[in-house]
Amino acid sequence: MSDMLQRLRDELIVAGQFFHSRGWVPATSSNFSARLGAETLLITSSGQHKGRLDAESGFLRVDLQGVSLDADKRPSAETGLHTLMYQRDPAMGCVLHTHSVNATVLSMRQSQVVLEGYEVQKAFPSVDTHDSCLVIPVFPNSQDIPALAQAVGLYLDANPQTVGYLIRGHGLYTWGVTVADAQRHVEALEFLFECYYRQLLLDR
């Protein structure tokens, strides 16, 4: 087993523990991946508790089409939403999907979440001022992952600055060059969703 695989696997295990401590990966929800090479990804296997990932059974390798390279293990049911991001960008290093209460509830009420005026928007490399606008689109949920991935891909073609998206009643997808970057983006978006939600309540 390569040093890189072990390092990325350990980083994803720690990310899962952190997300679990914050209540963002309930039950067996959520999935994580990281790039091992030009054509290979490490991804969580389906049905695992992401706060208690086992180094052996919790992960497998897939190719960029999502085909398992470890025959005895089944990749995440949402692998197509991960491979989409790596296929689009050779610099993509990590994709994280979480199921927080705020992401789930907001996605039921909004067609998009528009974040404006928050200092924490600067957690994203493309943002250098609070005086900016981050649009987080909401896609209808679907069990047809190839169709969902196609819809996301078309949106990203038209909106390449997008830093993450929501799936209605389901959760958040965000990404980064490294696991640390993607983890920071989950944390920033969760903070911003909490602020957005509280502002909606104050404005009622």
Ligand X SMILES: CSC[C@@H](O)[C@@H](O)C(=O)COP(=O)(O)O
Give the residue, chosen from 46, 68, 112, 142, that forms a contact with ligand X under the rule CB under 6 A: 46
Choice between 80 and 121, CB closer to ligand X:
80
Beta bridge partners of 142: none
40 near ligand X (CB under 6 A): no
Beta-carbon contacts of 133 under 8 Å, excluding residues fewer than 6 positions away, are 114, 115, 116
The C-alpha atoms of residue 17 and residue 24 are separated, in whole angstroms, by 10
Annotation: binding site for Zn(2+): 97, 99
Residues 105, 111, 114: CA angle, nearest 5 degrees: 90
Q: How far is the CB of 126 from ligand X (least distance, A)?
A: 26
Name the amino acid, one letter, at 31.
Answer: N
What number of residues does the chain have? Answer: 204
Give dist(CA 95, CA 124) in Å, integer. 15
User: For residues 130-169, which are near ligand X according to CB under 6 A?
Assistant: none
Quote the least distance from Cβ 124 to ligand X, whole Å. Answer: 23
Angle (CA) 30 31 33, round 5°? 155
Closer to ligand X by Cβ: residue 53 or 123:
53
Q: Judged by CB, which is closer to ligand X: 103, or 123?
A: 103
Sole window of 52-60, 64-72, 73-81, 152-160 interacting with ligand X (rule: CB under 6 A): 73-81
**DSSP 8-state code for residue 141:** P
Please identify, among the stretches 39-47, 54-62, 118-126, 132-140, the one whose residues bind ligand X according to the rule CB under 6 A: 39-47
What is the binding site for ligand X (CB under 6 A)?
A: 27-31, 44, 46-47, 76-78, 97
